[in-house]
Structure 1
């Protein structure tokens, strides 16, 4: 495991290089206090690989994600500094796949979206911070049906071309 302050890697052609070679190592960084872990990132032949973790300065896990030789895979999880869930989504072959959920710092669900191979699919819900519905629609055959949460359209010609 390498301390991030002891290496000077650079990105070249999509690979993380160290001393002219693709990096294969786990890299950690420390919080400003110099004692607590801030992050742990893993690379294999210059590509992101394995489980990555980031931590808040209070030691609470901030996020965890997974890579498979440079491709996002598995669950991405994130938390607020107090430990409440912030985000949850799933990757398959580098694309969103499955349920995506997002919460406010007070624990209110503000997004619940569904994806299939990187595209919205099925039920999609978004909420304002107070929990009221912002958007509630369904994707069927690539088309949206329902409350999209957009502003009402105004006919521009009716306002510009009045006599």
Structure 2
């Protein structure tokens, strides 16, 4: 009998200690016990482990983000009101990793970013206008631009078109024109 009592006390002690170290479960983002402190999500002053969720008024899931020890770890997903996916991202120890995507609506892609395990852009980085027209087509290697980089205006004309070779840009980099405004005059030069 004494052995069984010791075992029960031990089990409850372990469960209580684990809960004090890292609460696990599903928490709604509006929970007043949540606090972001220096990039760490805390629940009741303890780094949060579990799923952070938000809901639409009709109680359908709006977002679900996985956390481990207060940092994003695993997937982050967001949905439109109709239930289709609006964004998906992946994290390792709080750093962006893998392929991140978002959509303007059910079918039109908004962006696709590729990251390495250090949270740096690595591979293609593309963005689109709502019209499905490509806005940005960049390439990265471990967080640094490499190769051909292009930007387009909404009307389809090229805004930037350059090549990055050994860290140097060659071509049209898309900088804005500089204007001189003189005081006491309406003239712009």
Question: Is 2:54 the counterpart of 1:29?
Answer: yes
Q: Which runs of 5+ in 1 are unaligned?
A: 157-163
| One of 128, 133, 138 as aligned partner of 1:108 | 133
Structure 1 pair 32–154 and aligned structure 2 pair: CA distance change class (3 A): closer
1:135 corresponds, among 150, 160, 166, to 160
- Structure 2 portions without partners, runs of 5+: 1-25, 182-189
Identify which of 89, 112, 118 aligns with 2:143. 118
Structure number with higher relative contact order (C-alpha < 8 Å, ≥ 6 residues apart): 1
Instruction: Kindly indicate whether the alpha-carbon contact (under 8 Å) linking 2:86 and 2:106 is maintained by their aligned counterparts in 1.
Output: no
CA contact (8 A) 1:61 1:83 kept: no
Equivalences, count: 155
**Higher helix proportion (structure 1 or 2):** 2
Offset, 1:81: 2.2
Q: Under a length normalisation based on structure 2, what TM-score does the superposition of the two structures give?
A: 0.75
Is the aligned partner of 1:91 residue 2:115?
yes
Counterpart CA distance in 1 for 2:51 and 2:108 is 27
Q: Which has the larger radius of gyration?
A: 2
Partner Cα distance (2:163, 2:180) in 1: 27
CA RMSD of aligned residues (A): 1.9
